[in-house]
Amino acid sequence: MSPNSSAKLLDVRGLTVRFPTSDGVVQAVSDVSFSLERGETLGIGGESGSGKSVSNLAIMGLLNRNRAQVSGEVNFGGRDLLTIPSNDLRHIRGKDIAMVFQDPFACLHPMYRVGDQIAEAVTAHIDVGKAKAWERAEELLGRVGIPNAKSRARDYPHQFSGGMRQRAMIAMALVHNPDILICDEPTTALDVTVQAQIIDLIEDVKREFDIGVILVTHDLGVVAEVANSVMVMYAGRIMEYGPANEIFDRPQHPYAWGLLDSMPSVELRLEQLVPIEGSPPSLLSPPTGCPFHPRCRYRFEPCPTERPPLVAPAPEAHLDACHLPWETKVSEGAKRARSVAA
């Protein structure tokens, strides 16, 4: 997070996504700003419906333009992706910014060979023959750790296991050596053992291709392993944003504390896990003040009425959006300190 903007690969400012519906406007993402550097892994955490995925779909221009109103800025390569012509954006998608999705079972077309689907990503942006594109597909399938890549490329998705499909999705994302890889819950649908392999692969790929990675997940454990910086979202807003080691050593926001308390680990027994009471609010009529206050055990007088701004509460602190005094944040945060592997 250097102030030098030239090092920034991606700079998102005030991203807001609204879905007008017959019941009213759903504000899925509100005023989200963050940036990403080359070689950085940004972990975005939060519960379902916190706006993590929608933010990324908005960046990629994958939201239906008839149904979603997107505002703000998404600066990439000196251009604002929200205002460039859709055909230009199409040539950035899959070429400069690639995306891996949550459910590898549903994300590959069931009726085309895996190799075809990867080769298609090649020919979508550059003018090469089919044979060359296939070669590239086989090469990348091998690179992401699929054994016998040459013959497996001729398989259909249903002949692949879940982990292999996710590897194939990653291979597809890498065909044009992108600058940014957005991974939207890449491990959620997979077995635990396979999850670690996929996360390792993403990290390997990040180093080898020197790219920036946005890793969206509701599992803070995954974020803790690999992220350089972490953004915690709730109800479409950023609750806390800072370097990963700081977030895990000294989390500042009660929502982050709640997420850490409810996160299983080797040391904790099941009965020691503390869930966050209640469920995320409806984004049709979000709570006034701090969106988390109805579920917050630390709420006090200003919380229901005044929305806390996203600021650094002390010179040594990172950004959070909470009214609590700095001393409380330090003392409560210290109780949740986790040793971070990364």
Partner 1 sequence: MTLYIARRLVWTVVVVACVLAITFAVFYLLPAGDPALRFAGKNPTDTEIAAIHHRLGLDRPWYVQFGKFSKGFFVGDKYGWPGLGYTYAGQTSVKSLIIARAPRTLFLIAGASILWLLLGVSVGVLSAVKRRSPTDRLAMGFALFGISTPVFWLGLMALYIFWRQLGWTGGSGYVSPVDSITGFFSHMILPWIVLALLYAAFYARMTRNNLLETLGEDYIRTARAKGLSERKVIFKHGLRASLVPIVTMFGLDIALLVGGAIITESVFNLQGLGYLAINNALQQDLPVVLGVVLLASVAVALANLVVDILYAFIDPRVRYA
Binding site for partner 1 (CB under 8 A): 60, 62, 90-95, 98-99, 101, 103, 106-111, 117, 120-121, 124-125, 156, 158-159, 169, 172
Q: Cβ of residue 63: shortest distance to partner 1, in angstroms?
A: 10
DSSP 122: H
CB 244 within 8 A of CB 226: no
Q: Cβ of residue 106: shortest distance to partner 1, in angstroms?
A: 4
CB 186 within 8 A of CB 159: no
DSSP 93: B
Q: Cβ of residue 62: shortest distance to partner 1, in angstroms?
A: 6
Residue in the block written with tokens 């982050």 = 256
Nearer Cβ to partner 1 (57/263)? 57
Residue in the block written with tokens 């917050």 = 296
Nearer Cβ to partner 1 (82/310)? 82
The tokens for 198 are: 């996929």
Q: Cβ of residue 16: shortest distance to partner 1, in angstroms?
A: 22
Amino acid (one-letter) located at 228: N
Q: How far apart are CA 152 and CA 143, in angstroms?
A: 13
Look at phi and psi of residue 282 and say left if phi exceeds 0, alpha if psi is from -120 to 50, else beta. beta
Q: Cβ of residue 143: shortest distance to partner 1, in angstroms?
A: 17
- Per DSSP, helices labelled H in the chain are 52-60, 86-92, 104-107, 114-123, 130-143, 149-152, 162-174, 192-209, 220-226, 244-249, 254-261, 326-335
Nearer Cβ to partner 1 (25/62)? 62
Nearer Cβ to partner 1 (9/60)? 60
Classified as helix, coil or strand, 72 is strand
Nearer Cβ to partner 1 (173/319)? 173
Q: Cβ of residue 173: shortest distance to partner 1, in angstroms?
A: 8
| Cα of 13 vs its chain's centroid, Å | 16
Nearer Cβ to partner 1 (94/186)? 94
Q: Cβ of residue 40: shortest distance to partner 1, in angstroms?
A: 21
Nearer Cβ to partner 1 (143/253)? 143
Q: Cβ of residue 75: shortest distance to partner 1, in angstroms?
A: 20
Nearer Cβ to partner 1 (76/248)? 76
For every residue of 283-302, DSSP letters joined together read TTSPPSSSTTGGG-TT--TT
The tokens for 334 are: 């210290």
Q: Cβ of residue 167: shortest distance to partner 1, in angstroms?
A: 14
Burial of 95-104, coded b for 16+ CB within 10 Å and e otherwise, reads bbbbbbbbbb
Nearer Cβ to partner 1 (109/297)? 109
For every residue of 141-187, DSSP letters joined together read HHHTT-TTHHHHTTS-GGGS-HHHHHHHHHHHHHTT--SEEEEESTT
